[in-house]
Structure 1
Amino acid sequence: MSKKRQLLIDTALTLFYKQGIHAIGINEILTTSGVAKRTLYSHFASKDALLEAALETRHNTFMAWLNDKLDGANSDQHTIELLFNALASWFTHNEPKLGDFRGCFFINTSAEFSDTQCNIYALCQQHKAEVKTVIKNKLQGTNPLLVDAICIMKEGAIVSAQVSGYNPKHIASCITALQGMLD
C-alpha cells in the first residue's frame, strides 16, 4: 500500500472517529493530510470508498487488540474478566493501539448510515459478528446464551461509557452478572 493511501486512510479514520463521518468533508481530509485531491481520487472513487477503507483499518486494529487482550484466558470466568477489564482500560484512554476512546467506531458509523442495505452498514455488522466469533472461540463452554449476554453487555458498556462517562461499577456489574451465568 502506498504511503499516501495509508496517510489518507489514517487521516480520515482519525477525523471520522473524532468528529463523525457526515461532519467531515473531503476538503478537511485533504487539508489535514496534505494530500492533493487528484491523489485522493486516484486511490478512492468516493468518500464512501475512503470510509470503507477506514472501517477495514479500524476493524483490523480492533481485532488484533481484542485477540491480544483475550490471549491467555484459562477459563470462561477469566475470559469475561479480561474482556471487561480491557474495555475499562480503553474507556479510560489507556489503550494506545485504539487511541482515545470516542465510543465504538462501528456503532457510531452505523448510526450515521441508516440504510441497512448499504455496504458501510454491512461492514459494521460484519465487524460485530467477527467480534462475537472471537469471544465465542475464547470461551470453553458452548452456551450460546452466555455469548449473546457477553456481547450485549459489552455493547451496552461501550455506549454507556460514551454517553455517560466511564463508571467502574458498570464494568464490575457486567463481570459479576456474566460470571453468575456460569454457575
Structure 2
Amino acid sequence: MGERCRLIKSADQLDGIDALILPGVGAFDPAMANLRATGLVPHLMSWGEDNRPLLGICLGLQLLFEHSDEGRDPGLGLLSGRVKRLPEGRGERIPHMGWAPLKHRGNCPLLDADTTSQWVYFVHSYAAVPSDRNDLRATAAFGDQEVTAMVWRGRLGACQFHPEKSSDAGEQMLRRWLAWLQRGAEPIQ
C-alpha cells in the first residue's frame, strides 16, 4: 500500500512510531503471555490510554478487552467488556470461517458511510461483547444473532474480521485507515 511498516518486538522499538497495528491469530492467553514476555503490555496500555492510533485485527481486537472466556489472563483493558465464545446451536460452525456482510452501527475510519454492506472474511471462535455499546461500529450475523465485527473509540479501533484477507473491501478499509492517519487521525466518538 506504499507505507513503511516495522515489526515491533520490544518496547524500545516504539520510538518514532505514529500508529500501531495489533494483529493476531491464535489464542488469548498465549498472546497476552507473549506481550508480557516482550515487555509490551504497559507500553500498549499507555499507547491506548494516551489515545494514540491503534488498529487491532482479529485476536488483536480481543486483546483490547478486559477478559476472555478463552483464557484466564486479563487483556489490555483498553475497551470495557468481555470476549465470549460464539454460541453453539445457532446453525453455524465454530470456528466461524468464511465471508459475511457487515452491518454498520456507527462511524469509524475503516467504514465507507456510503456503502451499506461490505463482505469481509472471518476466522474466529470468540467475539467481543463491549460494555459500552457506543464502541460497537459494525456487526455480522452469526446464526440468528449479531456478533461484534468492529469497535472504535477515539483513535483506538479494531475489527474481528481479517481486512488483509477480505479482497477489495478489506484493502479499501486499510487504505481509508491510512488516509485517516495522514489527515491527522481525528478521534472518532
* Shared fold per TM-score greater than 0.5: no
Larger Rg: 1
| TM-score, structure 2 normalization | 0.28
Kindly indicate which of the two structures has a greater share of residues assigned to strand: 2
Higher relative CO (Cα under 8 Å, sequence separation at least 6) belongs to 1
TM-score under structure 1 length normalisation = 0.28
